[in-house]
Amino acid sequence: MNSTTIPPISLTTHSRFKNASKSIRRNISSIIIHILLFGGSLFTLLPLIWMVLSAFKTSSEIIQIPPTLVPAAPTLENFKEIFLTLPFMRFVFNSLFVTVTSTIILVFLTSLAGFVFAKFEFSGKKLIYGAILLTMMIADEVLVLPIYLMISKVHWNNTYIALIIPFLFTGFAVFLMRQFISTIPTELIEAATIDGAGYFRIYWKIIVPLIGPAMSSLGIFNFVWMWNMFMWPTVAVDTESMMTLQVALSRFTSMYLTRYDLTMAAATIATIPILIVYLVLQRNFVKGIALTGLKQ
């Protein structure tokens, strides 16, 4: 209980008076800050709340002027319609499958590589690590054309392989993992080596449990990047059965023109997975941004 503090005793009425006015002033300024922050937060939050609520509105209510916030007669018709008239389940599956598979593989491969770069010496290390770090300067968008032509050459268009394979290993992820693993004392690894454990077992039994938070940070980021991935699936895939959710959403504008009731139902569904991941792993997510400051 060393956090309890003894309140200072004011000796004169004068200083007590001064303290009181100071604390009132502090309270007022804190209330003003709260009002401003709250107002601003409505601005970022309302369009999203509106999206979710609109997904439950009827097609006539949605074009009503003045617009309503809360649906007058909530309905599930919009969800029913997009799931019945489109292979919407398939879009959801495609997106989830591509995102989860690539994220698991990426986190596994880059943490293993990070372990090796942090704790081993081998010939070619400097050159290879330097080259991998340099690839961080390349934006995915510029590689879409050459990779598209490569994938077309081997006839991988419209396959899951095409959607997944370009995103299994990034310089950023290796860098992040190496940074974390470097902080693990080498003695821990030595001790395990004496016990006769192989290096892969050491990675699995010692390194992985210790870098859990870093791995989940990287995992969340990658999940969101892959989930939102847009330009690549737009060109890599053109059959309806292989479309990811984001690509399907982009077609809504031409398919349904101003059927905003259906669009909002689809947009709501497209947001749920990221929202769940965020709510479950919120702390790692925000910490991850602060930690890396990088944006892919």
Partner 1 sequence: MPKVKLFRLTRGANSTPFPYLVIYPAFIYVLIFIIFPIFYLLFLSLAGTDQFSKVSVFKGFDNYEFLLKDKLFWKALFQTLEFAAIRLVAIVPLSLLIALGINQVKRFRAYYTLAYFSPIITSTAAVALIWLWIYDPSIGLANYGLTLLGIPKQSFLLDTDLALYSIAAVSIWKDVGWYMVIFLAGLQGIPEQFYEAAKIDGAGVLARFKNITLPLLGPTTLLVMVIATIAALREFTSIFIMTRSSISGEPGGPVNSTLTLVVYMFKNSFLYNKYGVGAGIAIILLIFIAVMTAIQFRLFKVDWEY
Check residue 143 for interaction with partner 1 (CB under 8 A): yes
Pick the closest to residue 102 from 226, 218, 211 (CA basis).
Answer: 226
Query: Can you tell me which of 199, 208, 210, 213 binds partner 1, judged by CB under 8 A?
Result: 199
Asked if residues 101 and 164 have their Cβ atoms less than 8 Å apart, the reply is yes
C-beta of 25 vs 80, nearer to partner 1? 25
Binding map of partner 1 across residues 21-50, x = CB under 8 A, - = no contact:
---------x--xx-xx--xxxxxx-xx-x
- Looking only at residues 171 through 190 of this chain, which bind partner 1 when binding is defined by CB under 8 A? 171, 175, 182, 186-187, 189-190
Residue 14 engages partner 1 in binding (rule: CB under 8 A): no
Run of H or E residues at 89: helix 88-119
Q: Which residues contact 245 (CB under 8 A, 6 or more apart)?
A: 91, 92, 94, 95, 266, 269, 270
What binding mask, one character per residue, do residues 263-282 give for partner 1 by CB under 8 A, x or -? xx-xxx-xx--xx--x---x
Specify the 3-state DSSP secondary structure of 206: helix
What is the smallest separation between the CB atom of 260 and partner 1, expressed in angstroms? 5
96 binds partner 1 (CB under 8 A): no
Dist CA 39 CA 276 (whole Å): 25
Near partner 1 by CB under 8 A: residue from 79, 83, 129, 156:
129
- Separation between Cα atoms, residue 112 and residue 169, nearest integer Å: 11
78 sits near partner 1 (criterion: CB under 8 A): no
CB-wise, 40 or 212, nearer to partner 1?
Answer: 40
CB atoms within 10 A of CB 48: 13
**Any contact of residue 243 with partner 1 (CB under 8 A)?**
no
CB atoms within 10 A of CB 27: 10
The values of phi and psi at residue 86, to 5°, are -125, 155
Helix (H, G, I), strand (E, B) or coil at 173: helix
Stretch that binds partner 1, among 1-9, 75-83, 85-93, 142-150 (CB under 8 A): 142-150
* Stretch near partner 1 under the rule CB under 8 A, chosen from 4-12, 73-81, 208-216, 248-256: 248-256
Q: Does 257 bind partner 1 (CB under 8 A)?
A: yes
